[in-house]
C-alpha cells in the first residue's frame, strides 16, 4: 500500500520553509536557550517522555530546545507524538495515523506502522488521517527531531479531540507498554481578548502562578487534579499531557522541569500572551 504524503502545512509560518534557514533557526533556539550544542555521542538509553510547546519557533523554540537538548543525550527510537486538535476536525476522539510519511523541509518522517497498529487495536479505534491534515501541533516537533537524528527514527502521530479522562488514562496505560518515547505537544496558558480568557489583572504574575500550579501537578503526576485544572484553563494540550502523565505514572518516570517562557518575552506585550514550558521524564 502506497504511503500517504502528509504535506508540511506549518512550513513558512510556524518555522522556515527553506532547509538551511530552518536549521539555522533551530540552532538559534539552542543558542538563545540552553546555550549548549546538542550531544553527538549518546548514551544507549532512552528518555521516557517530553513536554514541548508547538507555537512559532520565534516564540516557543527556545523552550522547546531545552527539552530537545535533554533528548539529544539519548539514542533515537520511535516517538509517539500526542497533540491537541485545534481544528475540531476528526473521526475519532483519539486519532492515530498509521500509513503515511510526514514531509518537512528537512525530509520525510515515516510512521512506525507496527506500533501504530498495536495501539489502534488496544484502543479499539479506527485509523483517522483526517484529524491530522491541517493541524500543526505534531508537525512542529518534527524538524527538531530531524535536526537531532536525521532519518534514524519513526513516529506515531496521535491527535486528541474530545477524549474523556477515562480514554486518556487508557491511552496512557497502553502507551506505557510500547517501546517508544512519548512527546506531549502543548502550549500553556493563552490569555487575552484574542483567546476569550482574561481572568488575570496582573497578567505576568498571575499567569505565572497559574502555570506553576499546573507544572507542579505534572511533576507530582497528579493525573486527575491536572486534568481538572486543564478543563478550566486554556492549556491547549492538557489532554495530551494527561495521557503522558498516566504513562509516566505507569513507567515511574522521573520529571525534570527545564524552562518556562512567554510570547511576551519576544513581543513585550501582555494584552494577548501565550506561555510555554519544557519538561522531560527520565
Task: Return d(Cα 50, Cα 281) in angstroms, integer.
Answer: 6
User: Three cell numbers at 164?
Assistant: 474523556
Task: Return d(Cα 174, Cα 191) in angstroms, integer.
Answer: 34
Task: Return d(Cα 264, Cα 274) in angstroms, integer.
Answer: 8
Domains, the chain, in order of start with CATH, read 4-281 (3.40.830.10)
In this prediction the pTM is 0.96
Task: Return d(Cα 189, Cα 230) in angstroms, integer.
Answer: 10
pLDDT, residue 1, reads 59
Helix residue spans in the chain (DSSP H) = 19-32, 57-71, 113-123, 142-149, 165-175, 203-219, 223-231, 238-251, 264-267
pLDDT, residue 3, reads 78
Distances (CA, A) of 75 to 96, 249, 255: 24, 22, 19
pLDDT, residue 75, reads 94
Task: Return d(Cα 221, Cα 36) in angstroms, integer.
Answer: 29
Q: Which residues of the chain have pLDDT under 50?
A: none
Amino acid at each position: 500500500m502506497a504511503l500517504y504524503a502528509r504535506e508540511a502545512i506549518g512550513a513558512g509560518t510556524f518555522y522556515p520553509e527553506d532547509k538551511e534557514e530552518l536549521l539555522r533557526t533551530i540552532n538559534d533556539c539552542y543558542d538563545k536557550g540552553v546555550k549548549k550544542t546538542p550531544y553527538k555521542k549518546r548514551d544507549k538509553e532512552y528518555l521516557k517522555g517530553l513536554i514541548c510547546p508547538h507555537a512559532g519557533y520565534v516564540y516557543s523554540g527556545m523552550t522547546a530546545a531545552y527539552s530537545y537538548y535533554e533528548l539529544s543525550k539519548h539514542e533515537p527510537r520511535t516517538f509517539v507524538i500526542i497533540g491537541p486538535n485545534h481544528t475540531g476536525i476528526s473521526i475519532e476522539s483519539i486519532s492515530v495515523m498509521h500509513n503515511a510519511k510526514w514531509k518537512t523541509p528537512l525530509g520525510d518522517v515515516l510512521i512506525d506502522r507496527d506500533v501504530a497498529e498495536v495501539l489502534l487495536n488496544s484502543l479499539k479505534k479506527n485509523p483517522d488521517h483526517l484529524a491530522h491534515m491541517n493541524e500543526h501541533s505534531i508537525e512542529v516537533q518534527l524538524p527538531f527531531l530531524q535536526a537531532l537524528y536525521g532519518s534514524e527514527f519513526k513516529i506515531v502521530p496521535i491527535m486528541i479531540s474530545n477524549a474523556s479522562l477515562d480514554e486518556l488514562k487508557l491511552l496512557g496505560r497502553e502507551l506505557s507498554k510500547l517501546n517508544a518515547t512519548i512527546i506531549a505537544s502543548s502550549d500553556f496558558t493563552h490569555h487575552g481578548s484574542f483567546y476569550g480568557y482574561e481572568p488575570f489583572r496582573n497578567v505576568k504574575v498571575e499567569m505565572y502562578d497559574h502555570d506553576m500550579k499546573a507544572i507542579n501537578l505534572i511533576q507530582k503526576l497528579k493525573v486527575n487534579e491536572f486534568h481538572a485544572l486543564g478543563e478550566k484553563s486554556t492549556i491547549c494540550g492538557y489532554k495530551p499531557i494527561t495521557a503522558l502523565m498516566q504513562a509516566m505514572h505507569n513507567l515511574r518516570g522521573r520529571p525534570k522541569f527545564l524552562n518556562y517562557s512567554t510570547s511576551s518575552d519576544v513581543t513585550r506585550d501582555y494584552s494577548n500572551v501565550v506561555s510555554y514550558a519544557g519538561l522531560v521524564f527520565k
